Chain A
Amino acid sequence: MLQVRDLKTYFFTAKGVVKAVDGISFSIKKGETLALVGESGCGKSITALSLLRLVPPPGKIVGGQIRFNGEDLLYLSESEMRRLRGNRIAMVFQEPMTALNPVLRIGDQISEVLLQHQDISPGEARDASIKLLHQVGIPAPEQRIREFPHQLSGGLRQRIVIAMALACNPQLLIADEPTTALDVTIQAQIMELLGRLQQQRQMATLLITHDLGVVAESAQQVAIMYAGLIVESASVAQLFAAPGHPYTRGLLASLPRLGEKRDRLSPIDGQVPSPLESHTGCPFLPRCPDVIPICSSRYPQLQETEPGQHVRCWRAE
């Protein structure tokens, strides 16, 4: 369904070139969820915006391919992209308020999406909106379509955003930290909803998150990003059972876990790298507990360590 090859998105700032995404490759099959995991500034959100070709200036996609159903999105015209966005490719963001127009009624916002992409009447769009709100678990949708976003809770707003994203039956859903702004009980409801809708509709989903718990419960495939690059990719089962990259191991070790009492946590030393830093060797080197001489001179390539598991580390076997 989606095949990304060697995607590079750079930002040309006054302070120099920021290589936010520096050559990443992944693919997502129909009905599959790929989780893209990483800490702030690692390039995961810029990857999502790149797929939609919505990278804000001074950012630019400078190389690679984004093949969606065999077609390279980087060769489409702006009007062809506009027909795709919100239609065959949809997106759900972290903060639902940024995706909603505060002065438009809920019903009108959903209808707008439908009218934009489908040949239907306003009455049909209204009926379809009610049906969508019902599907995303909004009580009394006939009344809700007359309300404004500020009248709803964060959880209900995110359900509206999901309804809008699903309005045109997308084949690919990009969800960027869709539950990070929500309370834990609402987060669980929203993830359950997304999982159920994805099953029903067999969408391919790119789930961007920093939460390894969400990854374990919602994704089948996972890619770990660090400093603009994928440092490990594997099935979720493989990654949690035998993490191959020292960064992945560090992330898993640093988590406090429910029902376990440890004296101390094992953090990763040092700081999350700034996107402005440039590297000759491995960018994880300053924080890595397991360095050998070659790490400082050359960057390792992703290599297959187990069938289906790829690790970018000189020490990986």
Chain B
Amino acid sequence: MTPLLKVDNLNKTFITTAGLANGKKQRLQAVNNLSFALIEGETLGLVGESGCGKSTTGRLILRLLEADSGEVFYKGENLLKISRSRLRPLRREMQMIFQDPFSSLNPRMRIGDILSEPFKIHKPLAATDLKRELKNLLEVVGLSVEHLDRYPHEFSGGQRQRIGIARALAVKPNLIIADEPVSALDVSIQAQIINLLQDIQKEFKLTYLFIAHDLAVVQHICDRVAVMYLGRIVEIGPALNIYRRPLHPYTEALLNAVPIPIPGRPGRALLQGEVPSPINPPSGCPFHPRCRYAKSICETDLPPLEQQSTGHESACHFAKELDMSR
């Protein structure tokens, strides 16, 4: 199976002076030799804590940020090498859904105008055809034609996210990069939007890169999950395998930290300390200072991301020996 999207050795470093009184520049490696592939029609989850590089990865793929090095192949074409004019028609096929639907919708534009924009850019239509397309779009996302003349502030958070999804669908994309699409929503609404994302995936044969920090949501919606820590993928594999038998101690720690809505469960082993600064990452395995299984090799040698079982890779020296089943 040829992947729809293939990311190879992607790197991105930011130069930062933040937090330094002397203004000295420091290098922050946000994305470090990242490689993964997306198969057509699947949903791959990208999870990790703030600053792990998951959102940066999404932006690098769409060239909203320029990578330092590496390759991103979409249908075999290297997105990072092609010209902006060649990129534009491909951008139509790759759309993004953002976390905060309010800040991604222009407050001074009516919904009808917001949803017409993608057509203007990618696919000019006659007025009657446009009207028909907009009506269809609204129906698909569970809104109605009366909403076209309203402004974003007149909608609830869930409805605004429906508008964001309609805008992404307008140009009939193949790939959708969704960056925390449900994390700003109330619990009862979150489930509505997750169901909607799954429905339109089936209907329009979409492929999703689903960036999120909520592990229960990611497990529910994703076929495969990649866990990131300090700019690297430390584990990638089928969603249920990852949750039932994680092969990296960081994945285990993340899962342990999720509060479960079942009272009276026994206490869990908690991860101590905080994520180290990406400006000065630890030697060897970046997770070793917080890892409860760490041995001396972990302090010196960076473990490569290696296949442990079919389709399940982990970057841990002891992935084969540790039993972290849940």
Contact = CB atoms under 8 A, between A and B. Distances in A.
> In the complex, which range does the number of interface residues on chain B fall in?
35 or more
Contacts of B311: none
Contacts of B274: 153, 155-156, 186
Contact of B259 (A183, A216, A240): A216
Contacts of B49: 183-186
A43 to B, nearest CB: 14
A153 B50 CA distance: 11
Interface string B237-266: 001100110000000011111111111110
> In the complex, which range does the number of interface residues on chain A fall in?
35 or more
Interface string B249-292: 00001111111111111001011101100000000000000000
Nearest to B192: A267
Given A192-B270, A267-B188, A213 B50 contact: no
A211 B214 CA distance: 12
A240 B261 contact: yes
Interface string A60-72: 0000000000000
Main DSSP-derived SS at the B contact region: helix
Contacts of B255: 258
Given A185-B49, A217-B265, A256 B220 contact: yes
B186 interface: yes
Interface in B28-44: none
Nearest to B243: A259
Nearest to A241: B263
A240 B263 contact: yes
Nearest to A183: B49
Contacts of B216: 255-258
A271 B195 contact: no
A255 B194 CA distance: 11
Interface string A83-106: 000000000000000000000000
B191 A265 contact: yes
A313 interface: no
A294 interface: no
A212 interface: yes
Contacts of A267: 188-192, 194-195
Contacts of A259: 219, 243-244, 326
A237 interface: yes
Contacts of A183: 49-50, 213, 275
A15 interface: no
B278 to A, nearest CB: 13
Interface in A34-66: 39-40
B215 interface: yes
A264 B256 CA distance: 24
B159 interface: yes
B188 A268 contact: yes
Nearest to A236: B263
B17 interface: no
A295 to B, nearest CB: 18
B187 interface: yes
A305 interface: no
A113 interface: no
Nearest to A269: B192
Nearest to B156: A271
B258 A254 contact: no
Contact of A213 (B188, B240, B261, B326): B261
Nearest to A41: B186
Interface of A: 39-40, 150-151, 153, 155-156, 183-189, 191-192, 210-218, 236-237, 240, 250-252, 254-259, 261-262, 264-269, 271-272, 274, 287
25 contacts: A39-B186, A39-B188, A183-B213, A185-B257, A185-B270, A187-B259, A192-B270, A212-B187, A216-B259, A216-B261, A218-B259, A254-B191, A256-B220, A257-B260, A258-B258, A264-B195, A264-B198, A265-B195, A267-B189, A267-B190, A267-B192, A267-B194, A267-B195, A272-B158, A287-B188
Given A39-B188, A151-B19, A187-B257, 6 more contacts: A39-B189, A185-B257, A188-B270, A258-B215, A258-B243, A272-B156
Ranked nearest first, the 10 interchain pairs of A and B with the lowest CB-CB distance are A213-B259, A267-B191, A256-B220, A254-B191, A268-B188, A39-B186, A188-B257, A183-B49, A265-B191, A267-B192
Interface of B: 19, 49-50, 156-159, 186-192, 194-195, 198, 213, 215-217, 219-221, 239-240, 243-244, 253-265, 268, 270-272, 274-275, 326
